[in-house]
């Protein structure tokens, strides 16, 4: 569980910003959003292939 201890003489806004950074770095929200909807394994594999093709094309454009 992620938590933030508020330090002495620290504003609440700054503590909230630290908390938000911790959540984004731990990718908890991304995992939560991924689990909201079931995706068939075949569709996951298809999307992974599409992503790899896009990345390969991008790498080839950068090399020229």
Mean pLDDT, rounded, of the chain: 92
Cα 25 to Cα 19, 21, 33, 36, distances in angstroms: 10, 6, 15, 20
With pLDDT > 70 as the criterion, what percentage of the chain qualifies? 100
pLDDT in tens, 12-27: 999 999 999 999 999 9
pLDDT at 63: 78
Position 2 confidence tier, pLDDT thresholds 50, 70, 90: confident
pTM of this prediction?
0.54
């Amino acid at each position: 569980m992620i938590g933030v201890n508020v330090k002495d003489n620290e504003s609440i806004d700054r503590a909230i910003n630290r908390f938000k950074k911790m959540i984004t770095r731990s990718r908890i929200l991304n995992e939560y959003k991924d689990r909201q909807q079931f995706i068939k394994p075949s569709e996951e594999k298809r999307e992974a292939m599409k992503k790899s093709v896009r990345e390969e094309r991008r790498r080839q454009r950068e090399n020229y």
